[in-house]
Structure 1
Amino acid sequence: MRGTDKPRSSPLVPDSVEAEIARHDWAALVCGCGRPAGHLADMLWDAAEGHPAAFHALQGHVFTGTRLWPPAPAACGVLMAVWSAGPPRQSTRDALLWTLLSLLSAEDDGTAYEAGLYGQCAAHVRAGLPHLRSGVGAAPGTTTAAYVEGILDIIELCA
């Protein structure tokens, strides 16, 4: 990461999130910006550290409008790892949920026989549903709850 062989480390990033970022060959994926997606590891690391702008910066790299790009499933896995490690502080939480909702609002690019990028993202979100559902009960009537409810509605429609 960061163009060196030395892995990035931070006390703000749980080991499970660090492992999820490290398990992907980012450079082998083509980013939405047209370059190899190696730079996404740093963007996701910044997001995992709690920088809300880093989540919004994924637009154009992981998704654009209703289109998903090849790094979307791997990035979604990282986002769900961040959430599952314990919902972050409020501003980070809302940015993370906005990003998940953006991924799930994309067009389904799968076929009857294969999950496309959308199906892979939805699978990551489904795996973390118990953690997401706790976000609704913890803050009824808030932006966080609205985002979680939107995510749950989309996942239930796809079931």
Structure 2
Amino acid sequence: MRGSEKPQRALRRQSAVPRSPLVPDSVEAEIARHDWEAIECGCGRSAGHLEAMVRDAAEGHPAAFRALEGHVFFVENLKPPAPAACAVLMAAWFARPPRRATREELLRTLLELLCMRDDGGTHEAGLYGQCAAFIRTGTDGFRHELATAPGSGTAEYAKAILEILGLPVV
């Protein structure tokens, strides 16, 4: 595929899926940035079907986060779509989901990604390294969650993420 064809293909994919008013443009842009069809999913198919799953998660459907298991990670291992899905989840985090239940499931999923085994891959820091790098970009937001919602589930997940990343909690 020539370089100029990839952006056109992404635009066709993006326009083929109805846009949700609940998904911020920044999250839609992150979804469109990845060639989901070219990634092998953890379920053995193309990861193209994950676009709808990550969009549902970005809309705030808590069950959509749990649906990523078996596709993005399974048991203790990350699967090839993990970095792309993590990038979308972080875009959703930066868009500041208003509902606490959505933020809690989002943080729980990010924590789950950080609790997976490192795949030991060296390409682009491996799956784990790529996910950790994406999650590390949200450090300030995790600390904000700790400060504004002490004692909540979101604060506990944020604290655990910071600890796993080896970053100061305060």
In the superposition, the TM-score normalised over structure 2's length comes to 0.85
Aligned to 1:59: 69
| Cα distance change of structure 1 residues 77 and 4 upon mapping to structure 2, 3 Å threshold | closer
Provide structure 1 residue ranges, at least 5 long, that are not aligned to the other structure: none
Question: In percent, how many aligned pairs have the same letter?
Answer: 62
- Higher-Rg member (1/2): 2
User: Match for 2:36 among 17, 26, 37?
Assistant: 26
| Cα distance change of structure 1 residues 6 and 137 upon mapping to structure 2, 3 Å threshold | same
Query: How many residues end up aligned between the 2 structures?
Result: 156
Aligned to 1:43: 53
Q: Does structure 2 conserve the Cα–Cα contact (< 8 Å) formed by 1:63 and 1:103?
A: yes
Which aligned runs of 4 or more in structure 1 are off by greater than 2 angstroms? Answer: 110-114
Q: Does structure 2 conserve the Cα–Cα contact (< 8 Å) formed by 1:27 and 1:37?
A: yes
Is it true that 1:75 corresponds to 2:85 in the alignment?
yes
Provide structure 2 residue ranges, at least 5 long, that are not aligned to the other structure: 1-9
Q: Does structure 2 conserve the Cα–Cα contact (< 8 Å) formed by 1:110 and 1:119?
A: no
**Matched letter for residue 33 of structure 1:** C
Tell me the C-alpha RMSD between the 2 structures: 1.9
Alignment partners' CA distance in 1, 2:50 and 2:122: 30
Aligned to 1:15: 25
Deviation at 1:7, TM superposition (A): 3.5
| Cα distance change of structure 1 residues 155 and 10 upon mapping to structure 2, 3 Å threshold | same
Aligned to 2:120: 110
In the superposition, the TM-score normalised over structure 1's length comes to 0.91
Cα deviation per residue 1:5-61 (whole Å; 9 max; x = unaligned)?
524311111110000001100011111111100000000001111100000000110
Aligned to 2:156: 146
User: Match for 2:138 among 128, 131, 143?
Assistant: 128
| Cα distance change of structure 1 residues 113 and 60 upon mapping to structure 2, 3 Å threshold | closer
Deviation at 1:86, TM superposition (A): 1.1
